[in-house]
Amino acid sequence: MDHTWDPQRYLTYADERGRPFAELVARGGVDAPRSGVHRGRRPGTTPPLLAPRWAGARVVGLDSSREMVEAARRDVGGVAGVDFERADLREWLEAGGEPVDVLVSNATLQWVPGHLDLLPALLERVGPGGWLAVQVPGNFDQPSHTLRTELAAQAAYAEHTRGAAVPSSHDPATYLDALARLGAQVDAWETTYLHVLTGEDPVFTWVSATGARPTLQALPDELRPGFEDELRRRLREAYPPGPAGVVLPFRRVFVVAHKPAHQSEGAR
């Protein structure tokens, strides 16, 4: 079931969403790449962050969302060394092309069913001595996701939401094992951020831009307001305000894989 993304809503909490990306690329060991690809959900912000770090490199930002790509081109078009392209991940991998020195996948693979099977193809797009860096959410057992799932399964909504995209991911050890079997040197870890959110129904604002968005868009107009009101109510109960504000614990999974300059036959 197709859905679209809203760049402005997504960037409501831009600092919180951007921090994992900054920590991901800081862990990579590449200092002076000639080329890099960023595949991710943060339009017009993350690729330009790579340009000063990797001066002289050509950085391409990819996204399957027309809205995200258009926002990126509008907001930061003209930044030296940065281009944006609309591309589906599987189609981009199948098309092939010249290997890059660094490939960054930020908050993307959780939307690709069976994405562990894509790791060999992703690593193949990285040249010898290059780096693959991946970040995915790891909080799908939290109320911010489970409440939506429970509500969407109710009889009034189930026939509409059954085919909506639902994100998922794996533990760091699973990614480490899969990439190590491919011959990469792997650093994998996880971090749980405590995001202090402000505004009215801030957790609903957060999830309605990401994990809940396909479900909300799958609902007909006459059912969506009631679903949203009930989801807001449940999220308020699950995330009550405290002394600091509304705290959203958010677990993220990180993997950085270094492809050896000379790979053994057994690892190919």
Average pLDDT value over all residues in the chain: 83
* Listed residue (250, 244, 255, 150) closest to 203, CA to CA: 250
pLDDT of residue 43: 44
Residue 11 has what pLDDT? 55
- The helix (H) or strand (E) run that includes residue 197 is strand 185-197
CATH number for the region 7-262 comes to 3.40.50.150
The reported pLDDT for the residue numbered 41 is 46
For the chain, the domains span 7-262
Alpha-carbon span 85 to 39, nearest angstrom: 10
Structure tokens at 115: 């994405």
End-to-end, the C-alpha distance of the chain in Å comes to 36
- pTM > 0.85: no
Q: pLDDT tens across 133-153, in order?
A: 999 999 999 999 999 999 999
For 11, phi and psi rounded to 5 degrees? -90, 15
Is the distance from CB of 139 to CB of 197 less than 8 angstroms?
no
In tens, the pLDDT along 16-75 reads 888 898 888 888 665 544 445 555 544 444 544 555 555 556 666 676 666 666 666 666
* Confidence (pLDDT) at 78: 56
**pLDDT for 3:** 52
Please provide residue 185's backbone torsions phi and psi, each rounded to the nearest 5 degrees.
-90, 120
Please state the rounded mean pLDDT for residues 96-114: 88
